[in-house]
Structure 1
């Protein structure tokens, strides 16, 4: 980000103190000026859409009563969420940890001395953008993937409330993973370690636990919730319901942001 951009971001009107509105405006200027933001969001859109299209193009009509009952093309088309969560989550980490690595966190906290307010503004702006992009991309992926389905394969429709719920929850999931990444960045203040924690929570731990204990514990981890609770129209045995999974994800998000906020207040910049 250029010096001129920072000057605009941190400029405070004479005689006025920063509130949430001014802090959010500052965060928006910083976020949109970072090249990584555009690249990451573009990668999310392209990667998720391509994955959905390829998956649906290779989806065949089920045969047999058991396979027909378990057939869930909506879950198939949303397979790209596994890729999108990584990109959005890493972007969330960078939004926070990048300021520590560049030293600009000092300017941010000088402009907004209330550190909880600064974090709330950052989370609100980034979370809002991630939610908007997540919903647009998941809907677009669904429509593109459905068009790629071959003849004779049941086509899911957004007129079905369960399909609409799965698509919307998957878009919201991307935003929550982004905020989890931001919270982890506030906790560790180091990009590499924050990404390591994010990958461990979303990929490594659930895979290890699923292989050793089944779904008993693994079902409470974000990726398992996304793939087996939120993005399904046919319930998966042994997994959380969509709304229970959403509640658990909200707890993850709130916990990391709360811990990150407390540490941001207590530690030196």
Structure 2
């Protein structure tokens, strides 16, 4: 089967499954709504902040506060795109129709990545503009130094979270197992390693800790991270490529 036909087939699969559509919709709503809420609260609290906190106030980063939960939905989307076929048994039919496993995996990842990229960018820009509207006089403009980079980076960050989850799900081949590992990893283990002094050096090289650096415009006081915004995103890309490579190796060597 030609690659273009496989891509069309994967597009049909994704848009015909209600759970994937709902998870992407949830990512948009949660990210924007929570970002607006935190931005509104920050505006009310700004005058009572210390001088140092006002000096290091990052209005762009504040508007992205909802991404902490929005990425949860992107993780679920990435897992479901891949692992649903294993849980339903449809993977056997898919591989019978497309015996070239590399083509099959590439087409699935390409379609899902394109969709996640569109949703990620739309969410990032909407969260920024609505968040700045909530911040009022304390907000930033898209043309300010570093702001456009952070907004574009927000879309890339959400996309990479989804793609990393696809790679992990391809390796584990189970939605429950994949979510059971990814959720604690991103929402518990990563935060602990990144905030405990003894493990901070390790934690800052984890995919979400490194990738989220792209969202910052103002560097926090005392931040000694050994890489910049694009360097952090580059570290995240390495994690994503490793997950996809691992998924490909497992798909290639194991029976459906």
Query: Structure 1 161/123 Cα, relative in aligned 2: closer, same or farther at 3 Å?
Result: farther
From 110, 134, 139, the counterpart of 1:124: 110
Using the TM superposition, give the Cα deviation of residue 214 of structure 1 relative to its aligned residue in structure 2, in angstroms: 5.1
**2:228 equivalent in structure 1:** 241
Alignment partners' CA distance in 1, 2:185 and 2:102: 25
Q: What residue in structure 1 maps to residue 157 of structure 2? A: 173
Counterpart residue number, 1:48: 31
Counterpart of 2:183 (choices 193, 199, 202) is 199
For 1:157, which of 129, 141, 161 is the aligned residue?
141
Unaligned ranges ≥5, structure 2: none
User: Which residue pairs with 2:88 in the alignment?
Assistant: 102
Deviation at 1:220, TM superposition (A): 1.3
1:261 aligns to 2:248 (yes or no): yes
Q: Which structure 1 residue ranges, 4+ long, deviate > 3 Å from structure 2?
A: 62-65
- Distance in 2 between the 1:214 and 1:234 partners? 24
CA distance, structure 2, for counterparts of residue 56 and residue 214 of structure 1: 31
In 2, the alpha carbon distance for the partners of 1:65 and 1:226 equals: 29
Instruction: State the distance in 1 between where 2:253 and 2:166 align.
Output: 18
Q: CA deviation at 1:226?
A: 4.1
CA-based RMSD of the aligned residues comes to 1.5
Is the deviation greater in 93-102 or in 229-238? 229-238
Query: How far did 1:213 drift?
Result: 2.0
Q: TM-score, length-normalised on structure 1?
A: 0.88
TM-score between the two structures when normalised by the length of structure 2 = 0.92
Quick one: which of 86, 91, 114 aligns to 2:77? 91
Query: How many residues matched?
Result: 249
Q: Deviations over 1:111-158 (max 9, x none)?
A: 1111011110011000010011000011011111111124xx421111
1:195: how far off?
0.8
Matched, 1:29 2:12: yes
